[in-house]
Copies of this chain bind each other. A is one copy, B any other.
Amino acid sequence: MPLSLSDLNPALLKVEYAVRGELAIKAEAYRERLQEPNHGLPFDRIITANIGNPQAKGLDQKPITFSRQVAALTEYPPLIELGRDLFPADALARAKELCAEIGSIGAYSHSQGVPFIRRNVAKFIQERDGYPSDYNNIFLTTGASEGVSLLINMLITGPKDGILIPIPQYPLYTAALAQYSGVPIPYFLDESAGWLTRPDDVENAVQKAIAEGVKPKGLVVINPGNPTGSLLKEDAIRRLIQVAEKYSLVLLADEVYQDNLHRRDTQKFYSFKKIVSDLQSSVSLVSFHSISKGVTGECGRRGGYFETHNLSPEINALIYKMRSVTLCPPLAGQIGVDSLVRPPRPGDESYELWKKETDEIHQALASRTRIMAERLNQLEGATCVDSPGALYLFPRIYLSDKACKAARAAGKEPDTFYSLALLDATGICTVSGSGFGQKEGEFHYRLTCLCEGVDDYVGKLEKFHKTFMAKYAD
């Protein structure tokens, strides 16, 4: 008898991951069709605004030269000698040091990651926060997602265990909760106050879950937010830690956008690790970081790490065991993490170029975000929080009853209906708000700020929006 879906794990059938869902798949099909001479589409390119993938074709954010030079030299160590005239001295020295520590990058490393690189991560954290970090508590990963997924798998013991997640959230969290049959416990961010996280709302969500027989096990915080870009203030972090302490929740701090601040002269990122240390809190904390975001944008390299704090040696050993079944994270990703936490310093041969490259990326992200938010806010039937960080805007759209009815008739969520129409008309690929979660009756979409030619494509978006709103005016 042929295998059918009903033979398979029903939990996996419930997993949803909108970022690579219907809209992305349709955009991919359009992209292939565009290569035909008579494609008949009303646009000439796909504008990939659905995913935080800065180096994707068509976005083409440049990789940081220093880290790619180190990567190439460690891939093919004879180049350190053969190509000594082609590379700056600090890249050559760094590669030599890494090769001596690691040996071949074709070998499995320690399952937590190369000890030398973990020590460098610990130093980076210590410099950032002013508190010690133990490299034994650092676990390098294949991007941040892998670590998040493992922690959720660990925390969920049965179908009545839950984890608090912000709404809107990055859909990895609901996907992992579906996969491991846990309950997502939503707490809503306040859009009217710039997507503010209100610790009282979090505590209310905890109490509501308990009243409904769900056991809250963890609290996910995304800072800066995805998809909202909002940045947590120090006091809010302090109060969230107190809520986690009070209800014995494990804090899962997704801090992969910590370097993506658009007003860096006035903003400050506070890590949960720092504030937990300030408070001398004993709360269990796992903090995630990645090379996929920030200004490195090295998504395809698959590198990241998490740091555990206040976990017992037995629990760290359990995490090690589970990591060891997957053998080790990719060495190219581990070396990417090393470059992230040890960028060139003033005086190093690569410093000026590194500074120029990273400054340009920061500026481009900030300027695109500001321009998009301004213009979206001028549209009738749309509002948009001007995101202070991360790589996204999450505009709200006010859809008419007529639009909602047309959507339901087409078997779509209204915001998905809007985003599909946007894609069909302009080639702009976004992700509809229903993929991230939103209040009942509200509609949004997520738009990355990674695409060049912002004037051009925001112009198309404006034109589409006006046409759509006119077509479906009540």
Contact = CB atoms under 8 A, between A and B. Distances in A.
Contact of A107 (B1, B53, B312, B315): B53
Contacts of A297: 106
Interface footprint category on A: 35 or more
A302 B315 contact: no
Interface in A164-218: 172, 175-176, 179-180, 217
A66 to B, nearest CB: 10
Contacts of A282: 2
A68 B60 contact: no
A57 interface: yes
Given A76-B68, A250-B3, A299-B108, A321 B103 contact: no
A330 interface: yes
A377 interface: no
Interface string A354-393: 0000000000000000000000000000000000000000
B75 A79 contact: no
B300 A8 contact: no
B1 A248 contact: yes
Given A79-B72, A105-B301, A9 B331 contact: no
Given A73-B72, A82-B86, A60 B104 contact: yes
Contacts of A322: 12, 15, 179
Interface in A18-46: 19-21, 28
A60 B102 CA distance: 12
B300 A330 contact: yes
Interface in A295-341: 296-302, 310-312, 314-315, 318, 321-322, 324-333
Interface stretch (A126-134, A150-158, A398-406): A150-158
A103 B325 contact: no
A63 interface: yes
A146 B326 contact: yes
B86 A8 contact: no
Contacts of A153: 9, 12, 179
A318 B57 contact: no
